[in-house]
Amino acid sequence: MTFKCTDAFTLNSWLTIGPASRISFASKAQPYRTTLLESQLAVWREADGGVSAEADGITVLVESHYGYLWVCPSGQPARPIFEFPEYGEAGRRIVDCDGIGVAVSHPRMIENFLDMGHFPYVHANYLGELPNTEVAPYEVKHDELSDELWADDCRFFQPKTSNSATQGLQVEYKYRVMQSASAMLYKTAFTRPEFMDAIGLFVQPHSEERITAYCLLAYIDDTSSENDLLSFQHTIFGQDKPILENQVPRRMPLYPGTEVPTRCDAMSTAYRRWLLDKNVSYGTVRSAAQV
């Protein structure tokens, strides 16, 4: 096994290695090079349009979906790539915000994305502001069929929910965890409040404590320039980065008693339990002795 990972769930999942645009000019002789689970990857486009990838010189399973490249490290995917119907929906703008490197584990990154409680502190004047700090109860569901986690009916007052927002808005959110390193959120579109914008967070774990977080928008927004949409997301991710890089430990503790959740952490608690149920060891700490 070339990948430095032992848990079957991570090895049998689809992990992104970046936007498909990375291989536009790549060839077998001059491939796109990146790292996944501490293994060196070379990726290129074949003459017939197909994608090929090698990890430390050994062929690995790679597919292209939603403008992104996905590798299944074991070559035996537990399930096909998740559904993302908004990607192909008429009237939506697809904007690839590309990635930002963060020195943290992928579960910490995903958890941050699922969390409304930090909006007024980490994203003050954008996604939240004092004194509107209260997080209303919301419902968490596990979809048995797709093995996905959903948080519905999330609501939060946001002073500037997106680039097109000109005033504060009570925003409705839905969160979704498709895989241990992929999540989506759906939130009220400012210019068309009867619709929900979709934001994908796809995390590439280079190692247990170093990732790239990619962000893909499927937006209902006729007013913002692509550059403005991108800049807004970069601002938000730039605000999260220093917090994420200052979490101790960088890997996510999954054993009880080390970190104390509260009611608004229902989605985070469900995600941690889901990781524990699947025996995910990569990027996690499973006992106090490991710290």
Partner 1 sequence: MNFLPHAWVPIHPSSRLAPANGIVAGFVDGHEIALWRDESGQAQAWENRCPHRGARLSLGRIIHNRLSCAYHGWEFEANSGRCVGIPAHPSQTPPRSACVKTYACMDKGGMIWVKRPDLQDAGEAEPPDTPKAEFFCRSLGLRIDVVATVEALESRGFQVCAPNAWAGRLASVPMIAMVSYAQEQLTFVHFWVQSNRQLIKAGAIFPALVAFRVSAESRMPAEISS
> Would you count residue 77 as binding partner 1 (CB under 8 A)?
no
The smaller minimum CB distance to partner 1, of residues 25 and 121, is found at: 121
> Would you count residue 289 as binding partner 1 (CB under 8 A)?
no
Of 243, 269, 276, 286, the residue at the interface with partner 1 (CB under 8 A) is 243
CA 136 and chain centroid, separation: 23
The distance of closest approach from Cβ of residue 31 to partner 1 in the complex, given in angstroms and rounded to an integer, is 37
Judge contact between 175 and 267, C-beta under 8 A: yes
The smaller minimum CB distance to partner 1, of residues 143 and 259, is found at: 259
* CA dist list (Å): 158 to 12, 124, 125, 169, 234: 38, 9, 8, 5, 18
The smaller minimum CB distance to partner 1, of residues 105 and 163, is found at: 105
Of 38, 117, 155, 195, the residue at the interface with partner 1 (CB under 8 A) is 117
The smaller minimum CB distance to partner 1, of residues 104 and 218, is found at: 104
> Would you count residue 25 as binding partner 1 (CB under 8 A)?
no
The smaller minimum CB distance to partner 1, of residues 58 and 136, is found at: 136
DSSP state of 73: T
Stretch that binds partner 1, among 3-11, 139-147, 191-199, 246-254 (CB under 8 A): 246-254
The distance of closest approach from Cβ of residue 239 to partner 1 in the complex, given in angstroms and rounded to an integer, is 11
Q: What is the per-residue binding string for partner 1 in 254-283, x denoting contact by CB under 8 A?
A: ---x-xxxxxx-------------------
Size of the site for partner 1 (CB under 8 A): 25
How would DSSP label each residue in 184-230?
EEEEE-SSSTTSEEEEEEEEEEEETTEEEEEEEEEE--SSS-HHHHH
